[in-house]
Structures are given as C-alpha cells and as structure tokens.
Structure 1
Amino acid sequence: KSSKNYAVIKAMAFREPELLHKLLDHFAESIAAYLRYQIDSGAQVVQMFDSWAGQLSPADYDTFAAPYQKKVVDLVKQTHPDTPFILYISGSAGVIERMARTGVDIVSLDWTVDMAEGLARLPEHVGVQGNVDPGLLFGSKEAIQARIDDTVRKARGRKHILNLGHGILPGTPEENGQFFFEAGKSVMERIGAAA
C-alpha cells in the first residue's frame, strides 16, 4: 500500500536498516534487469522514478536512495552504455547535485526548481528534463506558451527534454494538454533556432 509520508519504510530505515538495505539491493538488481529487458526490447531511453527519495533528507538520500540508484545505473550501463538514462524524483530540490552523482545522463527536474538554477547545480555533461508545473495546464494558453518559452530559453546550450515536472493532473483540460504539446513542438520558431 502506498502512503504520502512513507512512514512504514522510514520506520524500517531507522529501526531495521540492515533489512531495508537488503531489500533495496534486491530491488536495484530487479529494476536493472527489467530496464535491460526494456532496452533489449527496443527502448531507446529509460527513466527511473524513485518515489520516496524526495521525502528523504540529503543524508538519508545518500544512505537509502543514491547507492541503489547508482547500482541500477551501473548495472544497466555495463550492458547498454549508450542508452540514455533519466532519473526522476518528485520533490528533488534538495538533492539535485546528488542525483547527478548516480551516473545518470539526464536529471528530470520537477517544477519546484527554476530551470536556470537547476542547471547551475548540475555538471555540464548532465542533461535535464522538465520542468513545467503540471498545474499550469489549468491556466490560459498564453500562460502555458510563456512558461514553455521561458523554460526552453533557460535550458539553452544544454541537453533538454521539454516536459512537465510531473504527470498530467486529473481534470486537466484535454485541449490544454494538446496545446502544451503543440507549443512545445514550435518553441524554437518563437524563441529562435540558436540553442
């Protein structure tokens, strides 16, 4: 059962850390095997979502998340070194630099981090994905386009995949989702081709 505050797994982390480390190691190996299978089946890029890592302090991220994220990346890169690997953590503002140290190619930024500030915190070789607030899709088309343009301008000169900083929220007007996609496709025409 999922939870909003991860109380059960945090209790395990602080009461039975050895057990949790064994479990996380098992998960890392299983996730790596699954991602390798996806690549072998034709995936051109893979993304790992770590749901609880954004709920950890930086010290606890270093103990209970980063080593296992790195293990997944290392195992996948052993057999598929050229497949781009993206890491997404919702609520990652406090661990962006740490995310880059896992060996991923692209860090997915949620909307709580300004694109320019996020880029300044990452090594030049690490690309970014994101980071438009999905709540913006409840707004006007003008606001959506302005945010897309601002995000892409700030990401110039870096590998960047324009995306929302999380999934589309329930109740989002379909026409605004479609507009986001279309405005994203034409962004370089509006802001200039030099990126």
Structure 2
Amino acid sequence: MKNHPVLKAARGEKTDYTPVWIMRQAGRYSAKYREIRSKAGSFMELCRNPELAAQVTLLPIEEIGVDAAILFSDIFVPVEKMGINVEFVSGKGPVLSPVVKTVADVEKLSVPVPERELDYVLETIVKVKKRLSDRPLIGFSGAPFTLASYILEGGSTKDYRAAKTAMWNDLDLWRALMDILTRVVTEYLSAQINAGVDLVQIFDSWMGVLSAEDYERFVFPYTERIVDVLKERHPDTPIIHFGVNSSHLIGINNRLNVDVIGLDWRTEIPFALERTNKSIQGNLDPVALFADDSVIEEKVRKIVTEGLNARGHIFNLGHGILPQTDPEKARFLVKTVHRISKEMR
C-alpha cells in the first residue's frame, strides 16, 4: 500500500500515472447510494451504521474506479458528541442547537473520546480496510474554523457574521471555542489513523471567506497545532489541507506541515505552484462533468499537464461532485485522467 500512486503523489514521489479521487464521491449522484441511504433512515443514522457506511465508502471503487476511497461520514459527526444537536432540515441544511454565544456555553461542551463515543466511525474504517486491499482509504475531519462557523451561526450562513464578530469582538469566546475544536479534531483524526486510514484530509471549507490577515491571526495557529500533533504521532501518514476560494491563503498554508494543498477550481495550478512547494490536489470545476466528453478531455489534459510541474499531483474536482451528475461522466473522467497521464509519462 505504501507504494500506491495516491500515497506516492502525496509524498512527492514519481508515479506512473496521475491518481484520481473525487470529493463527495460516495454521494447522491449514485443510485446505489440512494438505495442504501433509504435503508438507514436519516443521513446521520447512515453515518452511525458501520456496515452501511462501509458499503457506501466502497461504492465509488466499484462504480467509477477511483484510486482511493474516502470514509463515508460527515464533518458534524464529532460535533454532535460535543453536546450539540445536529439536524438536517430540508431547504435549510444543517441546524445546530444550542447555538454557542458565550464562553460559558463553550465550557458546557466536551471533547469526545473517539474510541468510546465515535466507535462506529472507527468500526466503519476497520470494515472498509478488510475489504479494500489494493487502494488507500482517506479519513477526514472539518477544521476548527469551518466547524466554529456552523456552531456560532447555528447552521449555514452567507456572511459568517456571528463567526467573524466573535473573532473580532469576543476573543475569549473565540479562543475557547477554537481551542476545544482543535482538541476534538486532533483526537478524532488520530483515532482514524490508528484505526487504519492511510491518509487524512482536513476540510477547512470556508476559510476562504477570511482575509489573509484574519486567517493568519485567528485561524492558522489552530490548524497548525492539529497538523503538528498529527505529524508527531503519525509521521508516515500524509495530510491534505483543502479549502474553497482560498487561493489568497496558499502562501500562508504552505507553512503548514501538510503534504498536499487542495485547490478549488478557481485557483490555477501555475498560480498555486508559485506559492507552494508541496504536492497539490485538484482542481476540475464540478460543473465540467455536465459538459461534452471532448470538453472534459480538454480540461483534464490541461490540469494533468500543469500538475506535472508540481512536487506531486492527485487529480480531483475543485469541490464536491454535484448530486445531478451522471455517473457515466464520473467514470469517463477517471478513465480520461488515467489515459492522458499515462500517455504523458
């Protein structure tokens, strides 16, 4: 497994082809996923069912031939064990309660022990690893800032007003919440690695809403702490760091001790390579999978060509695959990435 192209690319080693996986690859675009989901009840109940979650995790391997599986779960799985209720409401997305507003509210939260309170996640990993012998399994967590945004807002937001004003106006609240989330994420990812995942991705999905100054001051130190502890405990496990619309933060994040910087589709690879010496991941626009095959092939060729100049390159979409995507297009993408990258080498 150590010599699998995904892990070699993450480490910056040469590969025979460009490996590819797809964010949200075990999702609603798949008819088999929808069938399995119907057996579980709610989305969160599916995440808590190790057997069904393992089946969903492995679906993209069987259906579209990606080079890695990613654990089927959700960024809110550890959050609900902190003492916050998470409910997915149609038309609104995740709704979190109670909303954290004070330091006293933070003090009521707890750091879950993954082996005891998130054992179903670790059991899912064990089940997947027993069935997946030829490709790596990716574990993941949301990053403190992204999780804090939801916790302070009580759900999704367009302006991040509660999060930003807490960051600027109530530093005690901000530090208390970010500190506990840092501990939660660190222990959660460490437990996933101990259970058998081969690499991990930290989703700081919404960090791009911050200026470089605010990100570096209020967010970066907490992510850095997570990464440093993980590297101390698990030095051989590659770490991917990803955020949306965050090209202005690449230079700052290059200081993280991560192996791979994930790029969204707005970030040109040459631009990124001027700002990072790490391996990269990305970065096809998810909507490109609705284009004609010739357009997809043209875009893949450009990304693969530019990726050859990176220390290492893992092909991916620049964000999650859209639910309306035709699975045949996803299969075509994977085959095209493999074919073109092999031709180029």
Report the TM range for the smaller structure's normalisation: over 0.9
**Which runs of 5 or more structure 1 residues have no equivalent in the other structure?**
none
Task: Name the aligned partner's letter for residue 340 of structure 2.
Answer: V
Equivalent residue number for residue 307 of structure 2 = 155
Equivalent residue number for residue 6 of structure 1 = 160
| SS of the residue 2:282 aligns to | strand
Task: Name the aligned partner's letter for residue 170 of structure 2.
Answer: E
Equivalent residue number for residue 78 of structure 1 = 232
Equivalent residue number for residue 50 of structure 1 = 204
The answer to whether the 8 A contact 2:282-2:317 is kept is yes
> Does residue 334 of structure 2 align to residue 143 of structure 1?
no
Superposition pairs of residues 31-46 of structure 1, within 5 angstroms: 31-46=185-200
Superposition pairs of residues 20-35 of structure 1, within 5 angstroms: 20-35=174-189
Equivalent residue number for residue 181 of structure 1 = 334
Equivalent residue number for residue 129 of structure 1 = 281
| SS of the residue 1:10 aligns to | helix
Equivalent residue number for residue 324 of structure 2 = 171
The alpha-carbon deviation at position 16 of structure 1 amounts to: 0.6
Distance 2:186 2:165 in 1: 26
Equivalent residue number for residue 114 of structure 1 = 268
| SS of the residue 1:163 aligns to | coil
The alpha-carbon deviation at position 173 of structure 1 amounts to: 2.1
Distance 2:256 2:179 in 1: 15
Equivalent residue number for residue 215 of structure 2 = 61
| SS of the residue 2:314 aligns to | strand
| SS of the residue 1:122 aligns to | coil
Distance 2:306 2:173 in 1: 43
Q: What do residues 25-78 of structure 1 show as CA deviations (whole Å, max 9, x unaligned)? A: 111111011111111111111000013311100000001221111011011111
**Which runs of 5 or more structure 2 residues have no equivalent in the other structure?**
1-154
Distance 1:103 1:30 in 2: 19
**TM-score, normalised on structure 1?**
0.93
The answer to whether the 8 A contact 1:51-1:89 is kept is yes
Task: Name the aligned partner's letter for residue 283 of structure 2.
Answer: N
Q: What do residues 140-190 of structure 1 show as CA deviations (whole Å, max 9, x unaligned)? A: 111111111111111114211000011112312222112111112222233
Distance 2:165 2:298 in 1: 43
The alpha-carbon deviation at position 5 of structure 1 amounts to: 2.1
The answer to whether the 8 A contact 2:200-2:237 is kept is yes
Number of equivalenced pairs: 190
Distance 2:287 2:171 in 1: 37
The answer to whether the 8 A contact 2:254-2:275 is kept is no
Runs of 4+ in 1 over 3 A off after TM superposition: none
The answer to whether the 8 A contact 1:119-1:155 is kept is no
| SS of the residue 2:316 aligns to | strand
Distance 1:145 1:137 in 2: 10
Distance 2:225 2:158 in 1: 26
Distance 1:6 1:171 in 2: 28
The answer to whether the 8 A contact 1:131-1:164 is kept is yes
The alpha-carbon deviation at position 4 of structure 1 amounts to: 2.5
Distance 1:33 1:57 in 2: 28
| SS of the residue 1:170 aligns to | coil
Higher relative contact order (CA 8 A, sep 6+): 2
Between the two proteins, what is the percent identity of the paired residues? Answer: 36
Match of 1:94 among 232, 248, 253: 248
The answer to whether the 8 A contact 1:47-1:86 is kept is yes
Distance 1:153 1:51 in 2: 26
The alpha-carbon deviation at position 87 of structure 1 amounts to: 0.3
Task: Name the aligned partner's letter for residue 53 of structure 1.
Answer: M
